[in-house]
Amino acid sequence: MNEATLSRRLYCAQQNLDEIMHQDSVPLYAADIQDQLKKQFAYLSGGRGGDGCPVITFPDYPAFSEIPEKEFQNVLTYLTSIPSLRDAGIGFILVIDRRQDKWTSVKASILRIAASFPGNLQLVLVLRPTGFFHRALSDIAFKFNKDEFKMKVPIIMLGSVSELQGYIDKTQLTEDLGGTLDYCHSRWLSRRTAIEGFAQKVKQTAQILQSFGTELAETELPNDVQSTSSLLATHKEKKDKMKEDIRLAVEQGDDILGSISKPVTENPEYKLNQDQLDNQTTVERLLAQLHETETAFDEFWIKHEQKLEQCLRLRNFEQNFREVKAALDVVSERLTAFTDVGNSCSHVEHILKDLANFEEKSSKARMLASEGDAFIQSNHYAVDSIIPKCSELHHLCDAFITETERRRNLLNKSLELHGLLEKSMKWCDEGIYLLASQPVDKCQSQDGAESALQEIEKFLDTGADNKIKELNKIYREYAQLLTEDLKEHVQKVFQKQESMEEMFQKRQVSLKKLAAKQTRPVQPVAPRPEAFVKSPYTSPGNEMTELHQSRGGSTMDDEENLAVLRQHVINELIETERAYVEELLCVLEGYAAEMDNPLMAHLISPELQNKKDILFGNMEEIYHFHNRIFLRELENYVEYPELVGRCFLDQMEDFQIYEKYCQNKPRSESLWRQFSDSVFFQECQRKLDHKLSLDSYLLKPVQRITKYQLLLKEMLKYSKNCEGAEDLQEALTSILGILKAVNDSMHQIAITGYDGNLNELGKLLMQGSFNVWTDHKKGHSKVKDLARFKPMQRHLFLHEKAVLFCKKREENGEGYEKAPSYSYKHSLNMAAVGITENVKGDAKKFEIWYNAREEVYIIQAPTPEVKATWVNEIRKVLTSQLQACREASQHRTLEQTQSLPLPTSSCTSPSRNHIRNTKKMEERKADLASLEGYGTTVAPKYPEKGKGEFTPMCCSPPTKCCPHSTSTPVLLALSLGFLRSTFVVWTGPKPP
């Protein structure tokens, strides 16, 4: 239904309403003349004459002559407008009751009514005065003055109500006229007011709906999503208000119908008079008209709402089209410029992942095109605008898919080539390790030479599946992706392969000579056992043999091989360090500095401004350290690679900056995820011509600190007998310590729910996941039984001052979103902790008990080695606390000794006392030294739980300075003099 149809139907409804209320010519309502009607000088009782003529009664009203003419006309006009047009056309019967009046008043009343009555008259019945004089006078006067009462209908003078009932049935007369008709003027007036108010409400509703429909039809459709959505919401709100008004109007009409039919409901024998029946019919017609009006509007609204919703979907489609097309254009441009085929298998795999991300954006475009096709199929009103956009999306998607398929095929070929190259490199490295690991002394014998030859031949047989056979074939097969750099890399791998095969040929010639000729027995020199050397590339089950060097010196070939390997590692270290420094500088200049560039400020989101420190952390500090200090120091060791460990040790303190960077990494990662699609970052990446986005470069420091320990391990393998081997081992240990600290801190910052300050707990020593059983002395027996058999999964954090028990939460998301979180449960103060190493029945369990075994926690480690490490670390903490307590006690004892009063002559001399005290102090120091000598392999005999228990023994009596002042009375009673007797040798497994 369109707006014109709606307007026509609503206009017709208004005309029908006027017809129903007979107000097409006399728009007069009871509410307008309510005060005049209340005077009741004339009323429409609802009675009818024999032929259905409406009866209007003029009751005895003393002030009839004083009624203003305007009021008189209004009342008569209104009363004559109420009956139906058919009944009013027959004519009215007037009953004028003047039984209590004078003839002069009767005459005036009849003359006034005759002159002012607006409707058709059928009969006028006058109840003349009942007084004898006035009755006789009325008869005489009426006969002589008939000409004065000239009316179109006869006037009949009646002497009594019985005569009146001869003209009008008794049932059609009110009680004051001797009839039985039920009539209440106030009730009649209230009902007429309600009916006419309802009629006005229905007419007003039709007018409002017509106006609202016109407004909806004339509303221009917005051009953006927000405005369209807002307009739809506004129109729905107005529509709901209209529907609510209609509902209230229907309720109003139903209430009026109920009041009209109430007498019949209460008394089924009750008969409604004609006026009541007319009122009932009027209200029913009004309700029907209201429902018809509502239906017409609902039909119009459904189409209008559908059009608005189509418009909203269209605006969303257009907006998504612009965004997807822009993104697809950017991705297509990047894909076109994305010519890198990778420099390793891992690099190619990373590029393939980026390619998959590109395809994901193209899938959004295809989904949007499908959405547009659905609009076309559903006969959308803007189909002419949608078709070109869908066609463009399909074209862009097809072109993009074609290009991505081409790129994927190329990258798969690149992955295949790099796989061949890496397989050849791995094979060459295994060959070099094999040559370097063959013991020279054993090869001097015929059996040893033949065994070495068999090893070589067996290894060379593996070359069929691992080495590059024809260089020209590689060039032909992979010609489409061979850049100058990649071609040079292929040549280097092939040259390395040829060099290695040449070394094998020379070794074979030498070994064949040794195996063929044994002119004299060879007395091998007893080798000096050295560390075991194993190739990191060795396949499972094919481990390399030990590399031995004789005391008299090894062959020149072995020394040269190791020197070459060391030089290779130092070269790789320096080359990758230079590349690392360049990458850091590139990020700082291409991204971090651009965030402060006024010319780029308009591309930065307000939420991203002033967040540079969060995004990049202390990367600038890391760059300055590597560029100004570490790289220059490394270059000084290029000719002495075996001494590079000293370079690391000299700068080890500066490597702590990585811990700060890694602690900030989760915040940086979270910020990047929010703004990774920022135009600012895309523009910076475009300027730098980077194939990878910023997040790949923000990960470089984390990757670099991990790379150092791998390079140090490699260098250490080839430098066992060199001068700097100890420094290399120490540097490796220190780097591993930094990595452990970084890892522990990353876990520590994931703790949630701890109210205090974690920094106040001291240094984090260890962390790990365990099964935990609990046992509490004060617990309920059932709870204790349940705790004894059902373990809890807990992640423990061991600090210097407390051990925290946390619950590890599930890992979700990707990247740093996958990092676990730990919900804090409870903690134990290390000042009141004891441990028992051996738990019967399980070598992986130990106990941590609290407050003299009031709380016992049975801890099950993943392996016995992990358990031993934790027990060892806890003992160190407890021993350290014990030592601090002893020193405080000794210091306090010395102060007390110095403050004693001089003894009497009967006591020991001061000099002897001093000597005795000094001797006791020395004994206690010796005891403490012996305790330190035992390290973590000592344990007290108390409490009697069995061997392997340990808790710090405190000074007696306890003091405020003692961290163990809450320990058991038995432990507090132990004095320093019994220290040696309270410890036994540790009987548990030796810690690693």
Reply yes or no on whether the pLDDT at 526 is more than 60: no
pLDDT at 910: 37
Least confident among 524-538, 696-710, 714-728: 524-538
Tens of pLDDT, residues 206-259: 888 888 878 787 788 888 888 888 888 888 888 888 888 888 989 988 999 898
Mean pLDDT over each residue of the chain, to the nearest integer? 77
pLDDT at 479: 86
Structure tokens at 721: 């007998």
Residues whose CB falls within 8 Å of the CB of residue 452, separated by 6 or more in sequence, listed in order: 438, 442, 443, 507, 511
Tens of pLDDT, residues 348-383: 887 788 777 777 767 777 788 888 888 888 878 778
Reply yes or no on whether the pLDDT at 762 is more than 70: yes
Phi and psi angles of residue 805, each rounded to the nearest 5 degrees, phi first: -105, 120
Helix, strand or coil, per DSSP, at residue 126: strand
Structure tokens at 562: 């190791």
Q: 880-914: string of b/e by CB count within 10 Å (b at 16+)?
A: ebbeebbebbbeebeeeeeeeeeeeeeeeeeeeee
Tens of pLDDT, residues 477-499: 888 888 888 888 888 888 888 88
Q: In whole angstroms, give the CA distance from residue 148 to residue 540.
A: 139
In the chain, the N- to C-terminal Cα span, in Å, equals 88
Among candidate residues 795, 841, 837, the one with its CA nearest the CA of residue 950: 837
Check: CB of residue 263 under 8 Å from CB of residue 272. Answer: yes
**For the packed helices 274-337 and 345-377, what is the interaxial angle rounded to 10 degrees?**
150
433-to-508, 539, 544, 555 alpha-carbon distances in Å = 16, 13, 7, 15
Strand partners, 181: 174
Q: In whole angstroms, give the CA distance from residue 33 to residue 918.
A: 124
Tell me which amino acid residue 195 is. Answer: I
Residues whose CB falls within 8 Å of the CB of residue 869, separated by 6 or more in sequence, listed in order: 766, 991, 992
Q: In whole angstroms, give the CA distance from residue 461 to residue 741.
A: 46
Reply yes or no on whether the pLDDT at 733 is more than 90: yes
Tens of pLDDT, residues 136-148: 555 555 554 555 5
Q: Can you tell me which residue has the tokens 């029907």? A: 288
Q: In whole angstroms, give the CA distance from residue 234 to residue 219.
A: 12
pLDDT at 145: 53
Least confident among 411-425, 742-756, 777-791: 777-791
Check: CB of residue 744 under 8 Å from CB of residue 767. Answer: yes
DSSP tag of 611:
-
Residues whose CB falls within 8 Å of the CB of residue 183, separated by 6 or more in sequence, listed in order: 43, 45, 46, 174, 175, 273
Task: Select the more confidently predicted residue: 379 or 679.
Answer: 679
Cβ burial of 322 (10 Å; 0-12, 13-18, 19+) is exposed
- Is pTM beyond 0.85? Reply is no
Tens of pLDDT, residues 527-548: 333 333 333 333 333 333 333 3
Alpha helices in 724-823 (DSSP H): 725-748, 781-789
Q: How many CB atoms lie within 10 A of CB 244?
A: 10
Residues whose CB falls within 8 Å of the CB of residue 199, separated by 6 or more in sequence, listed in order: 17, 20, 21, 282, 286
Cis peptide before 957 (omega within 30 of 0): yes
pLDDT at 131: 56
